[in-house]
Amino acid sequence: MVQDLIFATLETLYMTLVSALFAILLGIPLGIALYMLSKSEKKSSKTFYSVLDWVVNIFRSIPFIILIILIIPLTRLLTGTIIGSTAAIVPLSIAAIPFMARLAENSFNNLSQGLWDTAVSMGMTNWQFISKVLLPETASEMIANITLLIINLITYTAIAGAVGAGGLGAMAINYGYQRFRMDVLIYDVIILVLLTQVIQFAGTKIANSLRK
């Protein structure tokens, strides 16, 4: 059983971290796009923003368990299967990307108008603004966002576990719920709590160290 628990933990971590990575790599740029479009005075940008905003909202509003089912064809296309932790990464990432984008956009919006004005009056290009002002000034908050994202993803892996994804969630359902193994369920929960605590602790530490 110990071996099973270790394996399940590793599976959970694998699903969480890989989909978090996708969310960071795609969600933050999407957040940047949303923010920059909202700041632009061009009419076409405003339209583009509305479309993007709408798409993000749609993906954010579909309950995760339904999303898993909805995108089964995509999952099969990308991974060749719909069972197992690798397959679960597809719906996890698709749920996490718009979530991350929204979190990032919120952090960017919290940046003072003054910094935007300063950058514009210095004659910065959009890229210079993003790389020299936007990202460094929100770095600490972004770490906090990523921490939140990872912890949310752990919860989501448990939901994915219910439909064959593996990991701690699946183990809790298979052993604890279907075979009445209370001990497995408790160990399972203890591991989940520990994971969350460690990630939150580390995230807060890093975020604070970036706050100047």
Partner 1 sequence: MLEIKDLNLIYEDNYHVLKDINFKVEDGEIVGIIGLSGAGKTSLLRTLNLLQVPTSGKILLDGVDLTSLDKEELRKIRKKISIVFQHFNLLSSRTVFQNVALPLEIEDLSKKEIEEKVNKMLESMNLIPRKDAYPSQLSGGEKQRTAIARALISNPDIILFDEPTSSLDPKTTQKILDLILEINQSTRKSILIVTHEMDVIKKICDKVVYLKNGYVNFVGPVHEFFIEKETELNNEFYQEINIDWSKTWEMVRNKNQKLLKIVFWGSKTHEPVLYDVAKKYDVSVNILYGKIEHLKDSPYGTMIIAINSDNSHVENFLKELSENVYKVEVLN
* Chain positions contacting partner 1, by CB under 8 A: 41, 112, 114-115, 117-118, 120-125, 128, 132-133, 136-137, 139, 210, 212
The nearer residue to partner 1, 31 or 167, going by C-beta atoms, is: 31
Q: How far is the CB of 119 from partner 1 (least distance, A)?
A: 9
Largest pairwise CA distance in the chain: 66
Distance CA 130, CA 199 (A): 27
Residue 144: both structure tokens together: 């906090």
The CB-of-114 to partner 1 minimum distance in angstroms stands at 4
Q: Which is nearer to partner 1, 3 or 113 (CB)?
A: 113
What count of Cα atoms within 13 Å lies in the side-chain half-sphere of residue 183?
3
Choose among 168, 162, 159: nearest CA to 196. Answer: 168
Instruction: Compute the least distance from the CB of residue 28 to partner 1, in Å.
Output: 17
Pick 36 or 173: Cβ nearer partner 1: 36
DSSP letters, 133-165, are IIHHHHHHHHHHHHHHHHHHHHHHHHHHHHTT-
Q: Which is nearer to partner 1, 4 or 117 (CB)?
A: 117
Q: How far is the CB of 199 from partner 1 (least distance, A)?
A: 24
Distances (CA, A) of 127 to 116, 143, 180: 13, 21, 56
Least CB distance from residue 127 to partner 1, whole Å? 10
Contact 166, 11 (CB under 8 A): yes
Closest CB to partner 1 among residues 53, 137: 137
